[in-house]
Each structure stands twice: as structure tokens, then as C-alpha cells.
Amino acid sequence: MSKRTATLPLVLPPREAGSPAARWLYATLRAQILAGRLPAGARLPATRDLARQQGLSRGTVVAAFEQLRAEGYVAGTIGSGTYVNRVLPDELLHVRRAGRVAPAASPAPARHVARLARRLRALPGYERRPTRAFRANVPALDLFPISLWAQIASRRLRRATAQQLLGCDALGYRPLREAVAHYLITSRGAQCVPEQVAIVSGVQEALDLVARLTIDPGDVVCVEHPGYVSATSVFTAYGARVRAVAVDEEGMRVPDGRARGARLAYVTPGHQHPLGMAMSLRRRFALIDWARRAGALILEDDYDSEFRYAARPLPALQGLDTHGVAALTGSFSKVLFPSLRLGYLVVPPDLVDRVAAAKSLANLHTPLLDQAVLCDFITEGHFGRHVRRMREVYAARLGVLLDGTRRYLTGLLDVSGIEAGLQTVGWLAAARDAATVARAAAARRVEVIPLGRPALGTVPREALLLGFAAVDEEEIMRGVRELARVLGRPAPLP
């Protein structure tokens, strides 16, 4: 019976016919060490394993290792592990050592890159800096019940069936699709059946799927201005001609003649990104009517809508649509935690099979066990409890931000109260430049995102995006005081 190999196989170039095995193995390993492919400190496979992998006798491998050891390339003893030496023999100083990664062939080959690939631009990732006032787009991660999540996850893993280890439909784990449909119908006023719900890796994947299904290069797509840049990046990548449609107090205006032939309109009616107002009911109906006449699809991004502070929640735009022109997407990134990468996409019935095909071509389906854990979290009531608790926490934090800025910054930075979400906007006094303020704030460890002059209202003013969810009330007040200093009106010490 063959023993199991304890180390992963080492891939070596083939041996030329006629070259003695020990000599070949010695020369090959030495070359790998010199090229940096076996870096300093790397452990070589056990002689028995390497002999089996390469079809050699163990004595041959031992002889090659002995020679490498004698010349100072490796250290350690047979039986306890053999490692590449950190300091290589003197004569190696004359040999150029390559980095760990094989250097690119030089000059670079003339590689063909598709037009689509030439348009791709990576999105900024989450920055791993300490969270401070006024980090936007991030929930209070320190308040997430991670132990509870771990218990549910470990129970799920212990009980995973063979079927669950195999996979699920392209559109996702059926019980989760049912739970999400139920939640959207009851809490967001959406109209859907579970068959219309796809579980995706966050809103970002929903944007990609919808773009693939609706955009041919040169097609017009309408987005809000100002709006969510990560959505525009996707549409641009697929070759869309993006039309920026201004937002006013009622949300995105109904697209005009410049949007003729539009295939898609992307909107954030629940909580306009980044300005924060909700789209009025009148505007929602007008947009649906426009889409019906234009033959366009509306993609409603319902991000952050769980955290609604006003008493009267507006139903999702998708729930008002009786013509099958609206799709709805949302994310668990803000309610739970961003690295979960789970969200949903609800599409009109005629698009369901196409979404399933596009999804399966990209990744077959979203990882099933993560979906199953989320499903338990929702159906056992933890999701609802967490949302209620966080809503209270965020409402209190928003209150502190509004009080603090009213007290110390009136006339310099007017902060909008908002109905929903994790961030709001501060309007700077005329003649203030948002980018300059943001830089000065950063020097005081306060993060604000400059929005420039979002055209809303009659006097264009520069504005800053202020997140209030990620940090506690003390840190929010520190941020307010620092901003007061930056804006030239130092607040009294607490």
C-alpha cells in the first residue's frame, strides 16, 4: 500500500534523456533556488516524497540534497526538513537573483486585448484604515453579532447535505430566494415571486448582469447626476453612452430627448446616492411611464433602504410598476457586513431565464453555504432584530451629527437631515472649496468626501459626503470639532 505524500508536488522541468538523475536533480533545484522560484526559507519536499513524485530512487534524491547542502544552498537535516538557505554561497553574488515573481518577458509580447478589456477600470477596494469620523458607506461593524453568525454557520456546515455540497440553481438557494421575496414584499412593498429573485454577489454583480443583458456598445444608459460612480463604471465598460440626468428635490428628473433610445435607467429612489433624498411618488410614476414608452428597463438600487428614519416608508418603485419595466437590486453589505458579498436582483418575468444564463456563465451560482447561513439568519428573526437595533443606533448617531453641526457649524456647513441610509450631505458656505476642506480635514484624521457642486436648489454650493454610521457618538463629535477648526470657527472643548 502506498503511503500518502505529505508535501505538495514540486513541478520540475523534464530530464534530458541520458543525463544522470542525481546530477539533473541537483542542477535543477539549484537553478530554481537561483531564480527565486524556491525562495529563501522555503521547505523542500521530504526526500521520500520527492523520490515518489519524480519517479526516482530515494538514494538519488538524498545524493542531490547532500550536494546542495555541501555547497551551501540548503540547510537542515534529512528527516527534520531541508530549507533553502537565507544566505547563498559567495559565488552566487555574481549571479543575478530574480525576484519571487518570474519577471515579465521583455519586451512585453504584443498581446491582443479585447475592446471591452481596454475599457475596464478597477473599482476602489475597501480601505483597511482605522475607521474614523465620517467614513461613508460603512456600517457599524463592531456591533455586528459575529458570534451568533459563527454559531449559525457552524451548525450549517455540520449539517450540510451531499446535495448542498454539490451546488444549487444559478439563481440561488431556493429557501433564501423565498425568504428574500417575502422580505421584499412585506418590508419594501415590492411585487415578486421567488422565481424572479436571483441571489448575487452584491449590487455590483447585479449591475454587471443587467448591463450584460441590456447594453450593446453605443447604447444609451441614463444615470443620476450626481450618482453612484461604481454603476457608471460598469455601464461604460460595456460600451454604453452614459447620459447623466440631473437630480432635484424629487430625485432623478425624467430623461429628456438627449436620452432617446435609452435601454436602461439606473436610479436610487429610496435614498438618492449621494444626496440622500427619496424620489417622490409622482416622479416614480413619471419614470415608469417614461420607461414604458422608451422600451427601457429601470434598475432600482434599493441599497441602505433598511435604515429608514422617517415614519412613512415609501414602497419600492418596482412595487408600483404594472408594466414589467422595473428591476430591483439590493445588498446585504450594509445591513450585515461588506465582505459577505451577498445581494439580490429581482427582474421582470421575461428576463428570468436570461439572468440565469448570464449568471451561470459567469460563476454557476453564488456560494451556497454562505446563502444558507444568511437564510437561517433571516428566517430565525435575527435579521429583523439586527436591522431594528442598528436603526436605533444610527438614528442616534445621525441626531448627534445634526445637533453638533447645528451648534458649531451653522452657516459654514449645513447638514441635511435624511430619511434613510448611512450617510448625509453637508453643504458648504459659498466660496468654500470642498476638495480643499476635505484635504484639511484629512490632516486632522477626519474623512469627508468632496462632492463638488451638485446642482440642487438655485445656488450651486460645494458639498461634502458625511458618513455617520461607522463610528460612535464621541468620534462623531470629535469630527464635528475638527471640521469647525478647519472651517475657521473653533468649537469650545467638551
Beta strand pairing call for 241-248 and 251-252: antiparallel
Site size for ligand PLP (CB under 6 A): 13
Residues 376-435 that bind ligand PLP (CB under 6 A): none
Q: How many angstroms from the chain centroid is the CA of residue 364?
A: 19
Rounded distance, CA 215 to CA 364, Å? 22
Whole-number minimum distance, CB 201 to ligand PLP, in Å? 7
Which residue in 30, 263, 273, 283 binds ligand PLP (CB under 6 A)?
273
Rounded distance, CA 200 to CA 204, Å? 9
Whole-number minimum distance, CB 223 to ligand PLP, in Å? 11
CB atoms within 10 A of CB 158: 7
Per-position x/- string for 291-310, each x denoting binding to ligand PLP as judged by CB under 6 A, each - no binding:
----------x-x-------
Provide CB contacts within 8 A for 255, sequence distance 6+.
222, 243, 245, 262, 265, 290, 294
Whole-number minimum distance, CB 226 to ligand PLP, in Å? 11
Q: Is 344 in the site for ligand PLP (CB under 6 A)?
A: no
Q: Please, are residues 92 and 34 in contact by the beta-carbon 8 Å criterion? A: yes
Cite the DSSP H helix spans in 189-303.
202-214, 229-237, 281-294
Helix (H, G, I), strand (E, B) or coil at 72: coil
- Taking the least distance from each CB to ligand PLP, the nearer of 32 and 331 is 331
Cite the DSSP H helix spans in 94-228.
115-119, 146-158, 162-166, 174-188, 202-214
Q: Which stretch binds ligand PLP (CB under 6 A): 112-120, 196-204, 240-248, 452-460?
A: 196-204
Rounded distance, CA 377 to CA 370, Å? 11
Which residue in 76, 145, 338, 367 binds ligand PLP (CB under 6 A)?
338
Whole-number minimum distance, CB 430 to ligand PLP, in Å? 28
CB atoms within 10 A of CB 43: 13
- Taking the least distance from each CB to ligand PLP, the nearer of 83 and 144 is 144
Q: Which stretch binds ligand PLP (CB under 6 A): 185-193, 201-209, 212-220, 255-263?
A: 201-209
- Taking the least distance from each CB to ligand PLP, the nearer of 54 and 272 is 272
Q: Is 54 in the site for ligand PLP (CB under 6 A)?
A: no
Distances (CA, A) of 402 to 351, 361, 410: 43, 47, 10
- Taking the least distance from each CB to ligand PLP, the nearer of 224 and 482 is 224
Which residue in 60, 333, 366, 424 binds ligand PLP (CB under 6 A)?
333
Which residue in 60, 85, 191, 204 binds ligand PLP (CB under 6 A)?
204
Contacts 24+ apart (CB under 8 A), 148-151: 148/382, 149/336, 149/373, 149/377
Q: Is 202 in the site for ligand PLP (CB under 6 A)?
A: yes
Whole-number minimum distance, CB 284 to ligand PLP, in Å? 17
Q: Please, are residues 420 and 413 in contact by the beta-carbon 8 Å criterion? A: no
Per-position x/- string for 19-38, each x denoting binding to ligand PLP as judged by CB under 6 A, each - no binding:
--------------------
- Taking the least distance from each CB to ligand PLP, the nearer of 82 and 333 is 333
- Taking the least distance from each CB to ligand PLP, the nearer of 76 and 338 is 338
Which residue in 28, 60, 82, 268 binds ligand PLP (CB under 6 A)?
268
Per-residue buried b or exposed e for 332-362, using 16+ beta carbons within 10 Å of the residue's own CB: bbbbbeeebbbbbbbbbeebbeebbebbeee
Q: Is 85 in the site for ligand PLP (CB under 6 A)?
A: no
Rounded distance, CA 315 to CA 327, Å? 14
Residues 116-145 that bind ligand PLP (CB under 6 A): 137
Angle, vertex CA 81, rays to CA 50 and CA 19, nearest 5: 35
- Taking the least distance from each CB to ligand PLP, the nearer of 76 and 452 is 452
Q: Which stretch binds ligand PLP (CB under 6 A): 37-45, 98-106, 198-206, 403-411?
A: 198-206
Whole-number minimum distance, CB 334 to ligand PLP, in Å? 7
Whole-number minimum distance, CB 331 to ligand PLP, in Å? 3
Rounded distance, CA 179 to CA 399, Å? 33
Which residue in 269, 343, 426, 454 binds ligand PLP (CB under 6 A)?
343
Locate 121 and state its grid cell.
477600470
Q: Is 228 in the site for ligand PLP (CB under 6 A)?
A: yes
Q: Using alpha carbons only, how large is the chain's radius of gyration in Å?
A: 29
Residue whose grid cell is 429583523? 384
Tell me which residues touch ligand PLP (CB under 6 A): 137, 202-204, 228, 268, 273, 301, 303, 331, 333, 338, 343
